[in-house]
Structure 1
Amino acid sequence: MIPKVSSLKFSADELIRAWQSASILMDYPDEQLLARLEFLTEVTASLPAKIGAGLQTTIGHLRRQSLYDLQSDYVDTFDTRRRGCLFLTYFSNGETRKRGLALLRIKQVYTKAGLILTDDQLPDHLCVVLEFAATTDLQAGLKIILDNRAGLELLRLHLIEIESPWRGALEAVCATLPALKGTDYEAIQRLAADGPEDEQVGLNPYGTPDLLPMPGGV
């Protein structure tokens, strides 16, 4: 059973600020993102340390690097490594027909809530999910996140392993979620050992574009 937002450790307002900040910080870096860092610094400073500190660590890195270096590092981190994939249903479904159905279900949740994605947006991209949760429907967004918890945690462990500066933002998101249970650990270990499924089929019949990770994020 998916827990209610009201049962989490943080208030709805704190979740909104944390998830929207993480969504912005984990998107492909551009001039617009750099221009928002001052505002994001103020927002994250107002959050409890358990979630604000990680976000501030990522902000600090973005401040110190050139845009070219940030973009190069981002592509290397998220677009060239399977364990660094930001498309959540990839971890649980791989490139299979099941992923097409999983994407369709998420898209239906967005449509029901009144959110229409553009053709270049995939509904399971972490930044899209966090933005949807923060700005449209916290409870529905929480369900999508928890349905894909194993993949999210595997991504977190990968970012820690490679000492990625984006790990702080993802750790902040994970810190807002309910504590992991035994079945969660089992799912993470199984996913880490076996990896996503692989099936050489197209997914377009399910109403989604080809699922190659796109440099540039969402």
Structure 2
Amino acid sequence: MTPHAPPRQPVQAPAWQIQSLLLAYPDDQLPEHARLARQAAAALPEPVAAPLRRFLDEAEAIGPEELAERYVAVFDHRRRCCPYLTYYTHGDTRKRGMALLRVKQAYAAAGLRPSDDELPDHLAVVLEFAAAEPEAGRKLLLEYRAGVELLRLALHDAGAPWAHVLESVSATLPPLAGDERTAVARLAAEGPPEEEVGLTPYAPSQYTPDTVGGRR
């Protein structure tokens, strides 16, 4: 990521809203989301806007049906491309359940509640929250910055167009500090932790990275 100062908050909020829409499953609302994204990109700083335009151009060239198939292939069947941020730091362990609770508490403190069919740590949900509550949302994004960057790298490795959206997300945040770079490198090398023997994972199987691709 190219070092640069993060955009000011009035720019971050609309960027996070558009990024949230583009990280959702590409259903029949995608054309409208793409139209809104192109309009919004015109008012965003180039480091934030350029990756969004690259995604939109690539998505248009791929076409809606194939894009939806790729979304499932990437986010449903590649653990390294898991869109749930707490997974990168806690894996499917009980500590992740506590992390999810803290994310929910952050939403509740702002008077917001995600729908019951979505885990609160899905990056698209976190970005939607950040668009509504920039200070609290930015704090969450920074707390799970290593996961954001690892997802960005994994999507690039997979040749997935959503890597461009993650580039745009990263461009709204401060440059990585030394300890964050170390965390990204460690997670990339070791992967997320596994559940201890004898413990039941915090969530049913339908919420694990191999079976859920995110917001639909």
CA gap of 1:196–1:216, structure 2 versus 1, over 3 A, is closer
Distance 1:66 1:154 in 2: 27
Distance 2:82 2:214 in 1: 13
Within the alignment, does 1:131 sit opposite 2:128 as a pair?
A: yes
**Residue 188 of structure 2: which of 186, 192, 203 is its match?**
192
- Ranges in structure 2 where 5+ consecutive residues have no aligned partner: none
Within the alignment, does 1:115 sit opposite 2:115 as a pair?
A: no
**Equivalences for 1:75-90 in 2 at 5 Å?**
75-90=72-87
**Equivalences for 1:85-96 in 2 at 5 Å?**
85-96=82-93
Distance 1:108 1:66 in 2: 39
Deviation at 1:211, TM superposition (A): 2.7
CA gap of 1:209–1:133, structure 2 versus 1, over 3 A, is farther
Distance 1:123 1:183 in 2: 26
- Name the residue aligned to 1:183: 179
- Name the residue aligned to 2:155: 159
Deviation at 1:117, TM superposition (A): 1.8
Deviation at 1:89, TM superposition (A): 0.1
Q: Is the 8 A contact 1:129 1:144 kept in 2?
A: yes
User: 1:132 is paired with a residue of what secondary structure?
Assistant: helix
Alignment length, in residue pairs?
207
- Name the residue aligned to 2:145: 149
RMSD of aligned alpha carbons: 1.7
Within the alignment, does 1:212 sit opposite 2:211 as a pair?
A: no
Deviation at 1:209, TM superposition (A): 8.9
**Residue 52 of structure 2: which of 50, 55, 65 is its match?**
55
Identity %: 44
- Name the residue aligned to 1:4: none
- Judge which range, 17-26 or 155-164, deviates more: 155-164
TM-score under structure 1 normalisation? 0.89
Distance 1:193 1:209 in 2: 25
